[in-house]
Structure 1
Amino acid sequence: MKYVISIGINNVKGLTPLKAAVSGAVEFNDWAKTQGYETYLFADDDNKVVSQSDIFNQINTIIEEKICEQLIVFFSGHGILKGPNQEVWLLSNAQNNPNESINLTGSVDNARTSGIPYIVFVSDACRILPTEIQFTGNGSVIFPILDDTNEDCAIDLLYATRPGSPANEFNSKKSSKKFGLFTQSIIEILKGDYPNLIYSQKASGSWLTNYYDLSHLQVDQNYKSLNNADWHIDTINIEYPLKSVVSKKASEIKITLTQNPEIRIQHQNPKPKLASFSDDEAKKILLKTNKEVKSGKFFESDLYEKIQRDLEFGLNDLGNNSFKSILEDLGSFPSSIDPYNIKSNLISNSERIFDSKGRESFETKTGFTIVGNEIQDVIVNGNRKEFFFENNKQQIRIYNDDQITSALIILRNGNSIPIAILKGYIGTLVFNENQLLTVNYTPSRNNDKYEEFKRNEKEINFVRAFIASSANEGFDYQSTFNKEFDENGRMNHNNAGSFLRREKSLDPSLGLYAVYAYRQAGKIKDVKSVYRYMREESDSMPFDVAMLADKIGIERRRLAPFCPMLSLGWAYRQKFEEFLHPKIREASNYLVPNLWTTFDKKVTESIINLFTENILQ
């Protein structure tokens, strides 16, 4: 059995009403019926209220029946980003109740243990930061928490736009009806409006437009047939064409208008079908329309892939160049991609991170250097720290204490950032004004790992800068770590270009980013491999690593810090919420949108009090 859940929300209190979200969900639901899907529609037309529990209960019922082989979850409505890769869909009462929104990141994670072999999430929603505190809640999941049965589950994510951008809706040229660019584009493709995307392995030439000659077909529909035809459309075949169709529709509305979908596809062979057609149906489609979509254009959302490919070629010969000159040597980016020219956030942040150098040692072997900003204070248990200036940078020396694992960085605007104290490492905190871009943990000069780090310093710093800047921009950087582990989830010691491993140690900075990339890709074995290495190599265990490896309980006494360092970690709060102090749980409702967990100034004082009372270590 295959199912579709269609959700359309026009009205969210406190936000501008949409005109096409409900109609888009209805249209997607109607298409699904023609393809034999069992469908469930949740829409707020006629003043209906759509609740998270209704959607959750329906998905839970589907899972409990254990007959679902394929599930598509479609959403059209208002969406926000809590931080990079933290997608939230807003339901009817999201303003008054933070639980009445959908935590997409957490839902995807839970979906991996649902027992459903193939799930597609289609999101026709904006991916912009919230402007109101009412919309900064974490949201609720729509998939149940289940034990991992080790059954394979592939998940594809189809976003209407790239992170930080809106999803547009406009008036139809043929009527006064509004339409969503992304919804209209994907439905057209799935209906077969672009015959050159319809495929069959049984046909010579594979593609419908190659197998049948249209001029012959117009004369005689039976001049040729494909017995037991299996004409179909899947996500792999439509990835770039979908981007092309959306981009073309946007430019037709206004020449300067752009919208670039982001498509994340998990490899499967064969890929399950989204839409299927009999041979007669395929012929009728070809006769009815002769639209063709080409996908040679370079898209903003593909920029990461270009940099990644160039990076792999360029790491072998870095020389003594700056980060910017290295990128320029690797290849220029198309001038048409204005938001991502060499001066963009992605590149400038990469260079800023690459060029940021922290102190090489403290007598205590442990501490922090602040780069790019001046902070107000740092809070550690028992005040076991020294705060001073050196070389125009704030330095923080941490005195040795086996119990101290957490520091709270207080910014001048009153916001606060929890940071792990890792013994034997200097953490360089790189800021762009009040935004923390990354924390680079480097072995102290009096640490036995220091010499190995120095031999690989240029390469490590290059990859750190690339990964951190990609993460800040919301790009999927998981492919950077693809070759770190073998098929059994063990560290691949034959990988000479390993970014994570240096001899027998693991780079803590990259390890933190890696576990999130692996978790989001469903590579739980790789998450646990990073966890095992960090457990062997460090006296403290980064909270995020333990949480994503489902080891919070056994690591509770040495977690660093007291909550997730990356804000994305809060999307998995069901894994650790019971271990948090009630005041930290309350404070998590006041997170400032950022890559790194940043508490609003409203709750900073209450967290400081937990240090003062020796509750936080």
Structure 2
Amino acid sequence: MKRRDFLCASSAFAAFVVCGSAKSQAVGARGAVVIGVDKIQGLPVLHATDGANQVAQWLTGEGFEVKLLLDTTTKVTLQEIFDAVAEFVGRGNVSMLVIYFAGHGYMANVAAEWWMLSGAPANPNEAVSFLESVYLAKNCGIPNVVIISDACRSTPESLNAGSVRGGLIFPVVGLPSATCDVDRFMATCAGNRAYELPVAESVNQGYQGIFTGSFMDAFRRPDKDMVKPIRDGTLVVPNRALKKYLQREVQKRAQDKSIILKQLPDVEVTSDDMVYIGHAQAQVRASLPGTLLPIDTIVDFAFKKAGASFSNIDLNGENISPERELEVEKQAADVGFTQTAQMVIDDGHETSLSGTGVYVSGNAVKYFALMGPSAADVTSDGFLNVEIKDRRAENVLIRFNDGTGTVIPVISNYTTFVSLGDGGEINNVRYAPSKDNNLSSAYTQNQPRIKRLQSVFAAAAAYGTFRIEGPRSERRERDKYFREDIRIADGIDPTLSIYTGYIYADADLDTELREISAKLRDQLGIGLFDLELLSGALRQPSNAVFPSFPMMAQGWSFLRVMGAQSEQTTTLKPYLMKSPWTMFTLDGMEHLMAAAQKMYPTR
């Protein structure tokens, strides 16, 4: 069991205050729902309630009205949590909401995180869907919500949790408007590599509470550059100042306990600069250097190396010393980012594959199967050459040698490349215009840069950390650079538009999301499911949509909250595997085979 894949989830906070020497806003009512679950059947007993009690006391001292839910005397249920959150939302005067969770959970893919409640996993409804709850939090009417998860993770298969459906803890309040800022703090990023101890051993050595303790110490013993004065002269620690501190302290404490060699906290703050949860409680100390670069620094650096100008941080060419560059590159290799990116660059041979069809890296395919009326044949090097009839795309089932597989749309006049990781997961899907495509010359001219961009997007997606960060005004300003960087590339490779769609959905850039979705639909003559889903276009009559479910795994977490569930997605969801791109277990592939019209063995 790999500990990093398993959630001992432990925190979620929210706060809203805009204040400072030049700008100040009155603080409204502040509420908190604090949850601690120690016991889940078949899993190590935690000390989550200890952390929950400490957080509740701290927040009470900061003026929060706290609702405390612990499993020390009774079971913690989804209904209890929902009712507590809904009560605060329903008041209409809450300017800050804190939700803290400590307990077990799991990460089903790079974005689908679940908190396990007292009845889980036997009761598939007794869990909290993290990403779906974040989506609803953005529309709840409370100005800021910050979610923090302290994760010791394992795969759902090891927990017998594949059938967990879970639930939502925020009520639906009117039409989606995404007017609320959601700050998220996660103890580890979602990446697919770690150097860790098994979960039982890490719990025995004191893993539980490292992230919570680090978070609270950011207020007890903050660095000098973290604190800011407010109008009454007292010092506070803004949410935006917590990132570097947590990245340093979590890593240091985990190493001190010999629990983990590489732990990369994942922090996303969308609130304004002077939004804070609490005050600095002691004299500040001199700022200390970090021991580990955050994964988003690695992503930004790789994006810049690919020739882009966009950056969430100050990584322009003038201030990157050779020593700093070596440091970033070494850590990128240590955490597996470099290897994942290189697999995408090395995934195919465009010079020999110029027709409509699909190629899978390596010798991993047992057979292809068409899901529609088109015809196909398999070449000697494993390329499925597809003759699409009467439409612009065809869904192709790909079954790997171990029985797992996926469904990928093959688009007319594009060669599709599927890149597999060293664990058999699908790292990337990309499209290259064929010789009959009027974009082929533009692709040839820009191919090296497009491949570099594709590799960065794919590696970042594996870690769930490519974002446009900052307050709303900053996100829109940064998007100008981002759009310019991918302006040519995303028109040539539809995959880059899909990646961009998820980035825009995360950043609440809804207008921009609808624009790229409509642009790609006009260009291809079809809609790609992920963009149609994220932009809301699935609710409207449109051209044909391919495939009939999300291509990227994180899209499955949007189906319920966006009203896009179908009988097929409900049936297939329990069979999803941990992979950045949708991939199904052997049993899931058996369900899909019912729709296959013709099989094409590769050998």
TM-score normalised over the length of structure 1: 0.80
* Aligned residues of 1:415 and 1:601 also touching (Cα < 8 A): yes
Distance in 2, matches of 1:395 and 1:11, equals: 50
Q: Which residue of 1 aligns with 2:209?
A: 180
Query: Residue 83 of structure 1 aligns to a residue in which SS?
Result: coil
Query: Residue 486 of structure 2 aligns to a residue in which SS?
Result: coil
Query: Residue 559 of structure 2 aligns to a residue in which SS?
Result: helix
- Residues 55-66 of structure 1 correspond to what in structure 2 (within 5 A)? 55-66=81-92
Cα-to-partner distance string for 1:12-56 (whole Å, 9 max, x where unaligned): 1232221x211111111111111111111222113x211112212
Distance in 1, matches of 2:215 and 2:145, equals: 16
The amino acid of 2:495's aligned partner reads S
The amino acid of 2:587's aligned partner reads K
Question: Cα gap change, 1:24/1:602 in structure 2, threshold over 3 Å: closer, same or farther?
Answer: same
* Aligned residues of 1:14 and 1:95 also touching (Cα < 8 A): no
- Residues 4-43 of structure 1 correspond to what in structure 2 (within 5 A)? 4-18=32-46, 20-43=47-70
- Residues 556-567 of structure 1 correspond to what in structure 2 (within 5 A)? 558-567=544-553
Query: Residue 304 of structure 2 aligns to a residue in which SS?
Result: helix
> Does 1:410 pair with 2:399?
yes
Q: Which residue of 2 aligns with 1:205?
A: none
Match of 2:277 among 256, 268, 274: 274
- Residues 90-109 of structure 1 correspond to what in structure 2 (within 5 A)? 90-109=116-135
Question: Cα gap change, 1:358/1:143 in structure 2, threshold over 3 Å: closer, same or farther?
Answer: farther
Structure 1 position 293, deviation (Å): 6.0
Distance in 2, matches of 1:313 and 1:416, equals: 33
Structure 1 position 328, deviation (Å): 13
* Aligned residues of 2:184 and 2:269 also touching (Cα < 8 A): yes
Q: Higher Cα Rg: structure 1 or 2?
A: 1
- Mean Cα deviation higher: 433-442 or 192-201: 192-201
Q: Which has the higher contact order (CA 8 A, sep 6+)?
A: 2
* Aligned residues of 1:88 and 1:138 also touching (Cα < 8 A): no
Structure 1 position 145, deviation (Å): 3.2
- Residues 53-202 of structure 1 correspond to what in structure 2 (within 5 A)? 53-132=79-158, 134-136=160-162, 137-148=164-175, 150=177, 152-163=179-190, 169=203, 180-190=209-219, 192-194=220-222, 196=224, 199-201=227-229
Query: Residue 421 of structure 1 aligns to a residue in which SS?
Result: strand
Match of 1:499 among 486, 492, 502: 486
Q: When the two structures are aligned, how many residues end up with a matched partner? A: 550
The amino acid of 1:402's aligned partner reads R
Question: Cα gap change, 1:329/1:419 in structure 2, threshold over 3 Å: closer, same or farther?
Answer: farther
* Aligned residues of 1:99 and 1:138 also touching (Cα < 8 A): yes
> Does 1:425 pair with 2:414?
yes
Query: Residue 122 of structure 1 aligns to a residue in which SS?
Result: strand
Match of 1:247 among 225, 233, 251: 251
Distance in 1, matches of 2:153 and 2:225, equals: 28
> Does 1:592 pair with 2:577?
yes
Query: Residue 552 of structure 1 aligns to a residue in which SS?
Result: helix
Distance in 2, matches of 1:543 and 1:569, equals: 9
Query: Residue 595 of structure 2 aligns to a residue in which SS?
Result: helix
Distance in 2, matches of 1:425 and 1:102, equals: 40
Structure 1 position 510, deviation (Å): 0.7
* Aligned residues of 2:348 and 2:417 also touching (Cα < 8 A): yes
> Does 1:551 pair with 2:537?
yes
Distance in 2, matches of 1:602 and 1:229, equals: 62
> Does 1:372 pair with 2:362?
yes
The amino acid of 2:340's aligned partner reads N
Question: Cα gap change, 1:346/1:397 in structure 2, threshold over 3 Å: closer, same or farther?
Answer: same
Cα-to-partner distance string for 1:172-224 (whole Å, 9 max, x where unaligned): 8xxxxx9611112222333x33373663346xxxxxxxxxxxxxxxxxxxxxx
Distance in 1, matches of 2:167 and 2:369, equals: 32
Query: Residue 109 of structure 1 aligns to a residue in which SS?
Result: helix
> Does 1:437 pair with 2:465?
no
Structure 1 position 428, deviation (Å): 0.7
* Aligned residues of 1:484 and 1:495 also touching (Cα < 8 A): no
Question: Cα gap change, 1:249/1:485 in structure 2, threshold over 3 Å: closer, same or farther?
Answer: closer
* Aligned residues of 2:392 and 2:412 also touching (Cα < 8 A): no
> Does 1:388 pair with 2:378?
yes
Distance in 1, matches of 2:289 and 2:578, equals: 35
Question: Cα gap change, 1:35/1:328 in structure 2, threshold over 3 Å: closer, same or farther?
Answer: closer
Distance in 2, matches of 1:553 and 1:361, equals: 40
Question: Cα gap change, 1:554/1:405 in structure 2, threshold over 3 Å: closer, same or farther?
Answer: farther
Structure 1 position 334, deviation (Å): 3.4
Question: Cα gap change, 1:149/1:93 in structure 2, threshold over 3 Å: closer, same or farther?
Answer: closer
Question: Cα gap change, 1:579/1:140 in structure 2, threshold over 3 Å: closer, same or farther?
Answer: closer
Cα-to-partner distance string for 1:96-144 (whole Å, 9 max, x where unaligned): 1332111111111111111111111121232443342622335322122
Structure 1 position 379, deviation (Å): 2.3
Distance in 1, matches of 2:260 and 2:485, equals: 42
Structure 1 position 534, deviation (Å): 1.3
Q: Which residue of 2 aligns with 1:342?
A: 333
Specify every segment of 5 or more residues in structure 1 that has no aligned partner in the other structure, as ranges.
173-177, 203-226, 318-326
Structure 1 position 598, deviation (Å): 1.3
Cα-to-partner distance string for 1:508-557 (whole Å, 9 max, x where unaligned): 11111111122122222222121121122111111010111111122565
Distance in 1, matches of 2:238 and 2:513, equals: 29
Match of 2:304 among 312, 316, 332: 312
Question: Cα gap change, 1:497/1:523 in structure 2, threshold over 3 Å: closer, same or farther?
Answer: closer
Structure 1 position 358, deviation (Å): 4.5
* Aligned residues of 1:127 and 1:162 also touching (Cα < 8 A): no
Distance in 2, matches of 1:151 and 1:583, equals: 29
Structure 1 position 11, deviation (Å): 1.1
* Aligned residues of 1:358 and 1:368 also touching (Cα < 8 A): no
Distance in 1, matches of 2:555 and 2:357, equals: 24
The amino acid of 1:12's aligned partner reads I
Distance in 1, matches of 2:140 and 2:514, equals: 20
Distance in 2, matches of 1:79 and 1:474, equals: 18
> Does 1:296 pair with 2:286?
no
